[in-house]
Chain A
C-alpha cells in the first residue's frame, strides 16, 4: 500500500450534466474502499448544474468561475488540492469499470519504474447512435494497434504518480483551453524526460458522450490542426502513436498516392469515365484502409463496416485538411497563445482566484 489514502480521483467537467452522474457513480462503484480515495470534481464554469450534480457524489467540488479555462486548467486545479500520492484523471463522459482504477493502482505498485498508466476505450460506446459507435470503435482500433506504447495521460482515464505529475510541470494550461491534446502533449513531455508511460488495452472505459456527425467532424478538425500547429506531427507520432489523428492519417498519404495514380492512369483509359474513376478512387481508399475496415467488420459485422466506410473516408479527408491547416498556421501565425489580457495578467503575476493560466514549462 502506498499510504492510508493513496489515490485522488480528479474529474474535470464543463456542462457535463448529461453524463456526469453515470461517470461519478461508476467511480464510486470501483473495487476500492471508499475511504481509500478522494473524489474531486472541478467544474470549469459550467452553465448547467454540473457543480450541484457533482456535490451528490464528490468529496470536494471546485467551482471555477469567470471564464471557461479548459480541462488542462481544471485538472491542474484539482491536482493542487489533491492529497493522494497517485492522481487519477477521469473524464466526465467516461465510465470506468469496477476494476479499472484498482488495476491501474496495482500496476503502479507492482512496477516502481512505471510512472503513468492510461486506459483505453472499450469497443462499445455508451451512446447507441452510429456516429458514437463508429468514433468509439475508431479510438479503440488505434489503441489496440498501438498497444503498450505511450498513451494519452489525461483522457479518458489515466493515473500518474503525484510527484511525477508535479515535477513534470502539470498540464499545459497555457495553450490548451479546449480539451483536445493536453494529455498527448503531457505524455510527450514525460517521455522526453525519461518517464515510463504505458497505455494499457486491458484497462478500459466506456465513452458516454453522444457524438453527432458535426461534433465528430469538429473534433477531428481541431485535433488535427492543433497537433500539426502546436505539437509537431512526427515527434508526437513517435511519442503517442495511438492517437486518433495518426489512426486516421496512417492511410492518408497512400490515399493521395492512389488519387495521383488514378489521375495518371486515367489518361490511358480508352474512354475517360468519371464514374469509373470515382469507383477506382473509392476502392483504392477502401483497400488502403483495409486493416481498419477488417477490424470494424470483425467487431461489429460486415454491414457496420460498409455503413461506416463513407464516414471513415470523410474523417480522413477532414483529418488531412486539418493537418494542412495546422502546418500553415504554425508557419504563418505561430503557436497558440492565450489572449493578450491573460498574457498581461500572467506577466504581471496578478494573484487572483481563479488563477491566471500559467505558462507551460516547455
Chain B
C-alpha cells in the first residue's frame, strides 16, 4: 500500500478541545497537518525530537506505544494506562493511529498528554494502520495496542473512538 498520500501526524494540543465540534476539530487537524515525504523518513520522525531519533547511540531503548483505532473502534483509558505501565518508568512515545477523525480526545489527553495522532483516511484497515504507524514511530521497542469495536449501546463516553 502506498502510504505517501493522505497521511497526517499531529500532536494533541490544548487548542484541540475534546468537546470541540467536528468541523472545527477537523480544521485544527488540517492546520497542523504535516505531509510525510519518503526521504524524510529516517531523518525527521514526525512530531518527535530529532535528537532522540533512531540511529544515535543510546543507553536504553526508546519505547513507543502505538494505539491502533480503525473506524468505529475504541480504546479505554484503563487499557491505555495498562499498556504504558507495562514499560515501567521509561519514557514512552504514544502514537494514536486513527482511520478517520477521532471525536473524543478528552479521555486520552487525561491519560497521555503528549500523544501524537496519525490520521489516515477513513476506511484504512487495521493492518495498514499498524504498518503506517510503524513507519512513523522512532521506538526501538514498539508495542501495538488495538482498539475494540465500538459498543453499540450504553457506550462509555470516556472511550477514545473514531467515526
Contact = CB atoms under 8 A, between A and B. Distances in A.
- Please classify how large the interface on chain A is, using the bins under 10, 10 to 19, 20 to 34, 35 or more: 20 to 34
Contacts, number: 58
A166 to B, nearest CB: 19
A353 B138 CA distance: 14
B144 interface: yes
Interface in A53-112: 53-65, 81
B54 A51 contact: no
B54 A65 contact: yes
A352 interface: yes
Contacts of A64: 140
A347 interface: no
Contacts of A353: 57-62, 140
A49 to B, nearest CB: 8
A354 interface: yes
Interface in A94-134: none
A34 to B, nearest CB: 10
A55 B131 contact: yes
B57 A61 contact: no
A98 B13 CA distance: 45
Contacts of B44: none
A62 B141 contact: yes
A52 B1 CA distance: 12
Contact of A55 (B59, B61, B133): B133
Given A351-B59, A353-B60, A63 B131 contact: no
Contact of B134 (A61, A65, A354): A61
Contacts of A65: 54-55, 140
Contacts of A58: 144
A60 B131 contact: no
Contacts of A59: 143-144
B128 to A, nearest CB: 8
Given A65-B54, A65-B55, A354 B131 contact: no
Contacts of A55: 66, 130-131, 133-134, 142, 144
Nearest to A64: B140
B127 interface: yes
Contacts of A62: 61, 140-142
Interface of B: 54-55, 57-62, 66, 127-128, 130-131, 133-135, 139-144
CB-based closest 5 A-B pairs: A55-B134, A56-B127, A353-B61, A55-B130, A61-B142
